[in-house]
Amino acid sequence: MRKKTKVHLVIDEAASLEHFPQLSDAVDKIRAYGGKCHFFFQSMGQLKTCFPDGGDQTLLANTVQTFFAANDYPEADYISMRCGEATIIVRSGGVSRGGSSQASSQNGQSSTTTSWNSSDNWQQSGRRLLKTEEILALSERVAITFVPGLPPVCTTLTRYYETPWPLREWIGRRVRALGLSLLLAFLVSIIAASLLNQRQYFPSRPPERPTFVPVTPYDER
């Protein structure tokens, strides 16, 4: 079964099954027999309800996770922690200006003093790749996928009617190629038939004349 047939168990609205012990066993055992389970939940709370007593962590540890349209804080915080941290450059600086002016009317002399200073500093700092509030503000069509052994993958969900159907494109290319092949075969058959007709009406050498063999009459005597 593992070599010949792949079985995909797709469970949409999996929360409607509530706690189903057989599914808990299937998560880590059906994979050895060539099967794959696909669970679809509306939130992390539904996952904990269907897989209590730490079963939700077993499911998360054995699956590829895709999150989109997160709308509650605990789920968004979980996604933020799974994304990890990134190193960013923090810049700091400032500008200061100062001045003083003195004037004397007795001797007609004046003095002016002006000072100016600026600073530009930077340092590396750790920051979450996506903060919790940033995840909550993401578009509902932005999906974040966690694959074991790979960094987080950010993708955009595309509705089926927004892009050409791949199978439709494949069929269209095959139909066009088949139509072109039939057209070429039809043209070749017409040319071949015309050549045969020309050869029939205009032979390459004149036909041979019939030969007559004299027949001696039979002598009855």
pLDDT in tens, 23-73: 777 777 777 777 888 889 988 888 888 888 888 888 888 889 999 988 889
For the beta carbon of residue 80, count every other beta carbon within 10 angstroms.
21
Task: Dig out the tokens for 131 from the structure.
Answer: 């903060």
3-class DSSP assignment, residue 179: helix
Using CA atoms, how far apart are residues 66 and 156, in angstroms rounded to an integer? 12
Residues of the chain with pLDDT under 70: 1-3, 96-116, 160, 163-168, 170, 198-221
Closest CA to 69 of 118, 136, 148: 136
Using CA atoms, how far apart are residues 185 and 191, in angstroms rounded to an integer? 10
pLDDT on residue 1: 47
CATH, range 7-91+110-160: 3.40.50.300
pLDDT on residue 12: 87
pLDDT on residue 35: 81
